[in-house]
């Protein structure tokens, strides 16, 4: 906007400013006074207009008195836009991204070549120590080091591995021997007060961390109804449950989690939405179905407590829940994963499947379909703990689908971001 010049009376009459007034007649004097008054009023009005008009900021007055802030000028320079957030997936190839969505099993006594190849060739970013070992902390750490050494800019884009195992206690304890405590069953852990259990779990977590393990696929949060443990093959029969009431399960499972996390080991609450009512084992049987559990069941609310306590991972069951979605196992069901776990419970961490490599329950689906269905449902990580040979067709199927289906590719990216966020939080 151009600045209007400050008012100054015309000098066309030859008079100097300030005025030098000659001696005049009475009539002329009167006329001159009128002209002078009008001229003065015009000058005052012009100055007032200049001082109050909108426009560029003026320099401060000599007295230093503050002036009002002017309105923004249409001709001013627009504000600089804020810097957009960095893309967390910048520099990642599709194959590297997909690799972060798999966890391959490693036999702790005799690792198979497929397990090594999964990391070095298929870009898989997570491993699971499977089986039973009495080797102790030192040899286990050496085994883990053989896999972490495979991390490179080419394999996992330099991103560290999640190294997981099952260290629930009792019958389900993969790592034993020198340096590892004999962890009691969850049923026995429930006899401890929560503070004691948390302290014990911190010690057990420190043992895992010393061996290079940073993720425990525990605790079990399945609610087994009173008096039915013997008829519940996957959980109650092996004393993997903390109890039969929500209060006992939540207080003790959360204490176990807090202790592990204090030692730098993330936890996984399982098996959503609950295996406490099934009468067959998904690892060894097909057609395992829960006909009782509903979407708002108290056994589901137990998992909400674990999520509120900060669990980084939730493991989905491969049983079918006919009152929720009778068409698919929970791990493959958008109703269970996106609807219940993400929507109802607000979980924004990593959703990992139960084993979908050798489990009898999922053999009706090809390995490729198991992996694709997991991601379509809203899951983040496919667990192939028992048979590493199925990882290759699983990875290939997810890469192919992401290449041709933009909506699916977006789900892949969202899942990778959640996995990377969990790794970043763990440090």
pLDDT in tens, 342-358: 999 999 999 999 999 99
Query: Residue 37 has which token pair?
Result: 């008054």
Query: Residue 291 has which token pair?
Result: 């006909």
Q: What angle do CA 338, 339, 342 make, to 5 degrees?
A: 55
Helix axes 367-376, 391-404, angle to 10 degrees: 50
Average pLDDT across the chain, whole number: 87
Pairing of strands 313-316, 266-272: parallel
More confidently predicted of 224 and 58: 224
Window from 55-59, 257-261, 307-311 with minimum mean pLDDT: 55-59
Average pLDDT on 79-100 reads 87
For 124, residues 6+ apart whose C-beta sits below 8 A from its C-beta are 99, 102, 103, 104, 118, 156, 391, 395
Average pLDDT on 118-131 reads 99
Specify which residues 106 forms β-bridges with: 129
Residue 84's pLDDT is 73
Question: In this model, does residue 6 exceed pLDDT 70?
Answer: no
Cβ neighbours, 10 Å, residue 88: 13
3-state secondary structure of 326: strand
Residue 417: burial class (beta carbons within 10 Å; 0-12, 13-18, 19+) = middle
pLDDT in tens, 262-300: 999 999 999 999 999 999 999 999 999 999 999 999 999
Note whether 368 and 374 are within 8 A (CB).
no
Per DSSP, the chain holds a count of helices (H) and strands (E) of: 12, 13
Note whether 341 and 418 are within 8 A (CB).
no
Q: How confident is the model at residue 77 (pLDDT cuts 50, 70, 90)?
A: low
Note whether 390 and 384 are within 8 A (CB).
yes
Q: Considering Cα of 80, then 89, then 376, then 279, what sign does the dihedral take?
A: negative
Q: How many CA atoms lie within 13 A of 405 on its CB side?
A: 13
Distance CA 161, CA 353 (A): 17
pTM of the entire predicted model = 0.81
Distance CA 350, CA 312 (A): 6
The alpha helices in 149-267, defined as continuous H runs, are 186-189, 194-210, 246-262
Residue 24's pLDDT is 39
Note whether 190 and 119 are within 8 A (CB).
no
DSSP codes joined into one string, 101-134: TEEEEEESSS--HHHHHHHHTT---EEEEES-B-
pLDDT in tens, 359-410: 999 999 999 999 999 999 999 999 999 999 999 999 999 999 999 999 999 9
Note whether 286 and 318 are within 8 A (CB).
no
Residue 277: burial class (beta carbons within 10 Å; 0-12, 13-18, 19+) = buried
Residue 86's pLDDT is 85
Distance CA 239, CA 258 (A): 21
Residue 247's pLDDT is 97
Residue 283's pLDDT is 98
**Phi/psi-derived region of residue 173, left when phi > 0, alpha when psi is between -120 and 50, beta in every other case:** beta
Q: How many CA atoms lie within 13 A of 327 on its CB side?
A: 6
Residue 79's pLDDT is 53
pLDDT in tens, 18-50: 333 333 333 334 333 333 433 444 443 443 444
């Amino acid at each position: 906007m151009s600045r209007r010049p400050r008012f100054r009376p015309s000098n066309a009459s030859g008079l100097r400013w300030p005025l030098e007034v000659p001696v005049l007649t009475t009539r002329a004097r009167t006329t001159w006074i009128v002209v002078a008054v009008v001229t003065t009023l015009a000058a005052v009005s012009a100055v007032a207009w200049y001082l109050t008009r909108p426009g560029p900021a003026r320099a401060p007055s000599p007295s230093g008195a503050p002036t009002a802030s002017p309105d923004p000028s249409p001709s001013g320079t627009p504000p600089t836009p804020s810097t957009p957030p960095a893309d967390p997936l910048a520099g990642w190839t599709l194959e590297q991204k997909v690799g972060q969505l798999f966890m391959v099993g490693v036999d702790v006594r005799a690792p198979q070549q497929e397990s090594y190849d999964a990391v070095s060739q298929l870009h898989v970013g997570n491993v699971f120590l499977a089986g039973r070992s009495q080797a102790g902390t030192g040899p286990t750490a050496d085994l883990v080091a053989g896999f972490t050494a495979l991390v490179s800019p080419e394999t996992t884009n330099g991103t560290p591995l999640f190294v997981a195992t099952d260290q629930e206690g009792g019958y389900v304890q993969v790592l034993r021997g020198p340096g590892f405590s004999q962890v009691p069953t969850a049923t026995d852990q429930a006899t401890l007060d929560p503070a004691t259990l948390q302290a014990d779990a911190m010690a057990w977590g420190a043992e895992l961390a010393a061996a290079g393990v940073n993720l425990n696929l525990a605790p079990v949060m399945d609610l087994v109804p009173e008096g039915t443990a013997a008829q519940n093959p996957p959980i109650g029969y092996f004393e993997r449950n903390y109890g039969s009431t929500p209060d006992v399960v939540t207080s003790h499972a959360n204490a176990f989690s807090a202790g592990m996390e204090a030692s730098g080991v993330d936890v996984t609450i399982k098996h959503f939405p609950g295996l406490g009512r099934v009468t067959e084992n998904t690892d060894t049987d097909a057609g395992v179905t829960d006909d009782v559990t509903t979407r708002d069941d108290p056994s589901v609310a137990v998992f909400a407590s674990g999520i509120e306590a900060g669990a980084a991972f939730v493991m989905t069951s491969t049983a079918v829940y006919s009152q929720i979605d009778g068409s698919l196992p929970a791990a493959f069901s958008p109703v269970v994963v996106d609807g219940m776990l993400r929507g109802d419970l607000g979980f924004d961490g990593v959703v990992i499947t139960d084993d979908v490599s050798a489990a009898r329950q999922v053999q009706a689906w090809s390995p490729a379909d198991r992996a694709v269905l997991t991601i379509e449902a809203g899951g983040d990580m496919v667990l192939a703990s028992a048979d590493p040979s199925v990882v290759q067709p699983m990875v290939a199927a997810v890469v192919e689908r992401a290449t041709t289906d933009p909506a699916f590719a977006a789900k892949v990216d969202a899942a990778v971001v959640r996995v990377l966020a969990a790794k970043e939080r763990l440090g």
